A and B are shown apart, each in its own frame.
Chain A
C-alpha cells in the first residue's frame, strides 16, 4: 500500500513536470477556457434569458463544470501516448505498483483541474461574477468540482485505452463528452429545450452537478442536487475505474 502511494506520487510528479513542456496542452486548459467564458458572456449572453440571474453568474458554475470534466483528456492522451511508445512496457517491467500508473495520471489531473478552476474563477470575478454564498459553501463547491473532475479522469482513462493514438483519444473524448455538457443546464436553462432534450438534460449528471454548484455558489434552491452530485461522481468512479484497469491490463498484455 505504501508502495502504491509512493509510486503514484512519482507518476503524478512526472506528469506535472511534462506539462509546461507541451505548450499545446498547456494552452488547452489555461487560455482556451478564458476564451470560452468571454465568447459565451459577450456573444451569447445577451440572447440567453436566465430568469433570476445575470448571465455571467449563471454561466460561471456551468462552464467550470464543463471545463473540469474535460480536464481528464490529459489522462486519455497521456495513456494513449505511453502505450503507443512502449513506455508502459518499461513501467510494467519495474518492481513498481501496477495501479500507480493510472492512479498517478488521474491524481495529476486534480492539480491541473485546480489550476483551470482558479483561472476561470478569477476571469469570472473580473467580468462581474459574484458569489452569493458563505466561505463553507464556496469551499464545498470547490471540493465537489475536483471530485467530479477526478471521476471524469477515470472516464477518460478508459477512453484513452480504447484507442491506439493520442489523437484518436482526444477526438473520441470530445465527441462523447461535448454533447453531454451542452445538453445540460450548463449554458442555458433546460426549460428552453424541446421536451425530449429537456428530459435527457434533467437526468444528465452534468445538470445535477451544475445545479449543485449554483446551489452552493449562488444560493439557488438545492433540492437533492448537492448530495446527488457527490453520489453521481462516486458512481462514475466505481464504474469507470475498474473498466480502465481492465482495459489497461488487456492493452498492456497484447
Chain B
C-alpha cells in the first residue's frame, strides 16, 4: 500500500490548504457554529481563538470528518470534507483534547497501531515509530505503558501519533490545555519545527499567548461566529497593547503620576485600588522609562509591572461586553 507515503497535493500551491465557507452546525435550538468562514494558507498556522463553547471544537470535528455540517462548504487539501470524507482521512492528522491514545499500550505500540491503521506494513510502522519517538524525545519511554507517562509526554505522544502518515494538514485541538509551562514550551517548539517543515496547522486555543507565539493568522470565534480576523499584532493593537500598572506609595500623588506618565500611554490612565493603570504602545523599555519619569516627578512607587493582554481583554476590546454576555450564556445553558 502506498497510503503511508506523503501525497503530492492535487491543488496548486497557492490554493488555501483549508477553506471554510458558510459553515453551520446546530444542536436543537443552539447554533453551535453559525456561518463561519476562514481560509488557511498552505504552510501556515491559523489560530482559532475563543472561550469554551465558542464553537472551536465543533468546527474542528467537522473539518476532520467526525461530524457532518448542516450547511457550508469545507475543503481540506483540496478535498471536500463531506463528499470525500474517506479520502480526506488519508490527508489529515488530529491531535489534542478530542483524540487520545491507548493508555494500556506502550508509546511504541500506539504509534505502530496507528501506522498500520493508516495502511502501513508492520515493518514500516515500526521504523516510523522509532523515528517519531526519537524526534519527540520519547525514546526512553517507548516501551512503557502510556498510563505511566507525565501529562507533557502524553501530549507529545498524542502529537506524534497524529503525524504517523506525515499528513500535509494537521488539526491541533487545544494541544496544551492543562499542561505545565515547561511542557507547553516543549510542545510549542515541536509544533514550530513541523510548520518549518511545510505542514499546515489549524490550532484551537483559549490562550492568547499560545496563538501569539504559534499562529501566522488568528480568527477569534464567539457564539459560533468569527468576530475578528488578523495577525496577532493586528489583534493586539485592537486590544490596546500592554498594560502598565503602578502601585503608588501615596495615593494622593496620583495626579502627579498621571501627568508624568501621560506621554507614554495610548489612552487615558485610570486610578484603581491605589494604583495607576494605563496601556502602553511599546513593551521594550516601558518599565525603565516609567520609573525614570516618576522619579523625576518625585512620585514614590511601591510596585510596578507590565501585564500582557489576556483573553478577557481581547474579548472586552472586540465585543465590548464579553464578561457580562458570557455570564448570561451560562445561565441560559443551565436552564435549557
- Asked if A pairs with B, the answer is yes
Seen from chain A, the residues whose Cβ lies within 8 Å of a Cβ on chain B are: 6-7, 10, 14, 17-18, 21-22, 85-87, 89-96, 252-253
**By DSSP majority rule, is chain B's interface helix, strand, loop, or mixed?**
loop
Contact B161 A90 (CB under 8 A): yes
Known: A85-B100, A89-B98. A94 touches B89 (CB 8 A): yes
Complexed CA–CA distance, A92 and B62 (Å): 12
Inter-chain contact A7/B117, CB cutoff 8 Å: yes
- Closest chain-B Cβ to A67's Cβ sits at a distance in Å of 23
Contact A95 B104 (CB under 8 A): no
Are the C-beta atoms of A18 and B102 separated by less than 8 Å? yes
Is A95 in contact with B99, judged by CB distance below 8 angstroms? no
- Which of B64-72, B186-194, B222-230, B241-249 forms contacts with chain A? B64-72
Which residue of B3, B98, B102 contacts A14 across the interface (Cβ within 8 Å)?
B102
Contact A86 B100 (CB under 8 A): yes
Q: Is B217 in the interface zone, CB < 8 Å from A?
A: no
A119 to chain B, nearest CB (A): 22
Quick one: which of B66, B114, B116 contacts A253, CB cutoff 8 A?
B66
Closest residue of chain B to A253, judged by CB?
B67
Query: What is the CA–CA distance of A92 and B92 in the complex, to the nearest angstrom?
Result: 12
- Which of A21, A22, A89, A96 makes the CB contact (< 8 A) with B99? A89
Which 3 A-B residue pairs are closest in the complex by CB-CB distance? Answer: A90-B99, A95-B89, A18-B104
Docked Cα-Cα span, A202 to B113, in Å, equals: 46
Whether a CB of chain A sits under 8 angstroms from the CB of B119 is: yes
Q: Which of B98, B105, B119 contacts A18 (CB 8 A)?
A: B105
* Bound Cα distance A87, B99 (Å): 6
Q: Is the interface of A mostly helix, strand, loop or mixed?
A: helix
Question: B251 at interface (Cβ–Cβ under 8 A)?
Answer: no
Supply 25 A–B pairs (Cβ within 8 Å), ascending by A. A7-B117, A10-B116, A17-B104, A17-B105, A18-B102, A18-B105, A21-B104, A21-B145, A85-B103, A86-B97, A86-B98, A87-B101, A89-B66, A89-B98, A89-B99, A90-B101, A90-B161, A93-B64, A94-B114, A94-B118, A95-B3, A95-B86, A95-B89, A95-B117, A253-B67
What residues of chain B have their CB less than 8 Å away from a CB belonging to chain A? 3, 61, 64-68, 86, 89-90, 92, 94, 97-105, 109, 113-114, 116-119, 145, 161
- Given A17-B109, A89-B61, A93-B92, 14 other A-B contacts at CB below 8 A? A14-B102, A18-B105, A22-B104, A85-B100, A86-B98, A89-B99, A90-B100, A90-B114, A90-B161, A93-B66, A93-B89, A94-B117, A95-B90, A96-B118
- Bound together, the chains give a CA A23 to CA B197 distance in angstroms of 43
Residue contact B113 to A93, C-beta cutoff 8 Å: no
Q: Is B113 in contact with A14, judged by CB distance below 8 angstroms? A: yes
Report the Cα distance A95→B114, complex, angstroms.
10
What are the residues of chain B within 8 A of A92 when measuring CB–CB? Answer: 65-66
Interface centre among B94, B104, B109 (most CB of A within 10 A): B104
| Complex contacts, B109 vs chain A, CB 8 Å | 14, 17
Residues of A within 8 A of B145 (CB): 21
Pairwise interchain contact A87-B102, C-beta atoms closer than 8 A: yes
